[in-house]
Amino acid sequence: MEVTTATDTNHSTWDGGENKPLGASYGKMMMWFFILSDALTFSGFLGAYGLTRFKFIESWPIADEVFTHVPFLHGVSAPMYYVAFMTFILIFSSVTMVLAVDAGHQMKQKKVTTYMFLTIIGGLIFLSSQAWEWKTFIKGEYGALQLNDGKIIQFVDKTGHQIALEDFAVRSHKERIQHTKSNGLWFVSESKLPPFSVNEVINGFKSNPDITIRTEQLNLETKQKIIIPREKAMGFLNNAKAVVKGANLKVNEYGKTAFADFFFFITGFHGFHVFSGVLINIIIFFNVIIGTYQRRGHYEMVEKVGLYWHFVDLVWVFVFTFFYLI
């Protein structure tokens, strides 16, 4: 008795047939869908930022006053230039990436190697720029006072420009000693002391008749922070709780703490993407050098990692707009 066997089983039927509705390889398709879901994650974060900003529309920090620093230029107020440079670096590394993909299509191993290398360098420059940007933001510039209800009070001279605490605060002789493990309880640590105490700042304010304060509140007509006349300033200062220098997850000298939180979270999450992108790029770079893709006959891996890299650039374009421009 003969066994009937389906000798003409069409394998491709089980694989989904010859009909390829998306016309892309499995890996590339999945990279696209990963990018789609990652894009939704980022838009969730940026959407939350937008919600919080609309919620505090009358008191949100002005980005131009926060990010004004450029490396090696101390004291020069240059809003946007540095972050524009970072954007440019990322766009340029996208260009070298797409040139690597293009060279891969033509099976030019040498060219792919060069362009992948340049892409990695671009990513590293971006990452170090971002680390510098974080450092500057955490360190702060002018310093401010925090009121009991959490609002931030900044000091301005008579032309309305912000001035730093050390420009007017009077140092008193009463030294408050930082608690360290070597001079106190070994199992207790204390966070770094602010440069001045609240009283030193208030005394300095009293002895400088030219300065006054401003709150976080914006004049929605001129989009500038409202300056409080000096006569009314003491009413605010009597409510002061702490001296703030710089920004962290709990307090922010530039205004709303949520601004700092979102800044750290969104640029941090993006920076993590850049970091993993650089790592993946390095792996692919070495694979290109040892000729893996040359033997395989195509450079689709370069194309896939390229998709991810361009996506990172794409996200930065949006972060740049919503954090620094708007």
Partner 1 sequence: MTNSQEHISHTKLIWKVFIILSIITAVEVFLGIDKPDFLYLTSFIGTNLLNIIFIVLTLVKAYYITWFFMHMADEKKNLRRAVVWTAVFLIAYLATLLLIEGGYIYDVLGPLTKWNY
The torsion angles phi and psi of 82, rounded to 5 degrees, stand at -70, -40
Residue 225's beta-bridge partner residues?
A: 218
Which segments within 273-318 are labelled E, that is strand?
A: none
- Our finding on whether 26 is near partner 1 (CB under 8 A) is no
Strand, helix or coil for residue 183: coil
- Our finding on whether 326 is near partner 1 (CB under 8 A) is yes
- Our finding on whether 298 is near partner 1 (CB under 8 A) is yes
- Our finding on whether 223 is near partner 1 (CB under 8 A) is yes
Shortest spacing between CB 75 and partner 1, in angstroms: 18
- Our finding on whether 47 is near partner 1 (CB under 8 A) is yes
Give the nearer residue to partner 1 in terms of CB position, either 33 or 186: 33
Site residue total, partner 1 (CB under 8 A): 71
- Our finding on whether 16 is near partner 1 (CB under 8 A) is no
In sequence order, the 6+-apart residues with CB closer than 8 A to the CB of 22 are 29
> Which among 156-164, 204-212, 269-277, 299-307 is the span making contact with partner 1, rule CB under 8 A?
299-307
Give the nearer residue to partner 1 in terms of CB position, either 58 or 210: 58
> Which among 171-179, 180-188, 216-224, 257-265 is the span making contact with partner 1, rule CB under 8 A?
216-224
Among 52, 197, 208, 248, binds partner 1 (CB under 8 A): 52
d(CA 111, CA 107): 9
- Our finding on whether 235 is near partner 1 (CB under 8 A) is yes
d(CA 95, CA 89): 10
Number of other residues whose CB lies within 10 A of the CB of residue 246: 21
Q: Which of residues 71-100 bind partner 1 (CB under 8 A)?
A: 79-81, 84, 87-88, 91-92, 94-95, 97-99
Shortest spacing between CB 166 and partner 1, in angstroms: 25
Shortest spacing between CB 98 and partner 1, in angstroms: 5
Q: Which of residues 155-214 bind partner 1 (CB under 8 A)?
A: none
Give the nearer residue to partner 1 in terms of CB position, either 44 or 268: 44
8 A C-beta contact, residue 105 and residue 267: no
255 Rama sector, left if φ>0, alpha if ψ -120 to 50, beta otherwise = left
d(CA 274, CA 269): 9
- Our finding on whether 227 is near partner 1 (CB under 8 A) is no
Cα 229 versus chain centre, distance: 35
> What's the token pair of residue 10?
């069409």
